[in-house]
Amino acid sequence: MDLVVIGAGRAGGSLARAATAAGHRVVGMLTRRPQHDHPALDWDEPLPGCDLVLVAVSDGAITDVAERLAPRWNPETPAVHVSGFMPVSALAPIAARGAAVGSFHPLQTLPDPERGAAALAGAWAAVTAAEPLAGLLEELARSLGMRPFALADEAKPLYHAAAAAAANYVVEALGVASDLLAAAGVDMAVMEPLTRRVVENVFAVGAAAALTGPIARGDLDTVEGQMRAADGVSAELGEQFRLLARATAIRAGVELE
């Protein structure tokens, strides 16, 4: 495919790199930052002919970008944004020109374009679009080694919240564990086999069945002792531990004071 990418941040840069490596052509990139790998485009000029435009800007900027580009938009050119949260209607100014619009969200962490491009293979991609655009996006995903799945537009906030929980909340839990171990003089590396096996268990048997430890057993005296220990490191760490414990107790059906 011939692609135009708008935005050269982590998402746009990752997709541009991965698409080029997969044999697609990035015929232009529209960005505020200088780019040397792909032809630079001008905001005030019509976009070059292409099969698809990927709008990879921040959520709050999607509609602003669409409004700026809409007056010169070719209605034969489809556009998608790469937000997992924003509705397809964020591209309404382009849709008003008669173009097909949708969204294409890579369900993967993209820390920078180089590592992000490498991480796309094997990841899932949420596709929100009507045919024939949906088929084009599925083809793009598979060409990048990704696994496409259909996501209803109205379900995107729930889906995106789930992604945040599966990524950032896991990071926070491990961050709390790391802080507690540092206070105990133990290397965080000792937790890796346990953490990997617990994550495998979640995908094998579900979250509730994968719960382990004193909360799952209802051993609340031990949980209270853990809280006191966390409080002894710092008030902030104690509060973080309590929030995680309370969330776990809700899952387990246990009441904590």
For 57-80, what is each residue's pLDDT tens digit? 999 999 999 999 999 999 999 999
The domain spans of the chain are 2-151, 158-252
Which amino acid would we find at residue 141? A
For 111-160, what is each residue's pLDDT tens digit? 999 999 999 999 999 999 999 999 999 999 999 999 999 999 999 999 99
Q: Answer whether CATH 3.10.20.30 is correct for domain 2-151.
A: no
Fold entry, domain 158-252: N-(1-d-carboxylethyl)-l-norvaline Dehydrogenase; domain 2 (1.10.1040)
For 173-203, what is each residue's pLDDT tens digit? 999 999 999 999 999 999 999 999 999 999 9
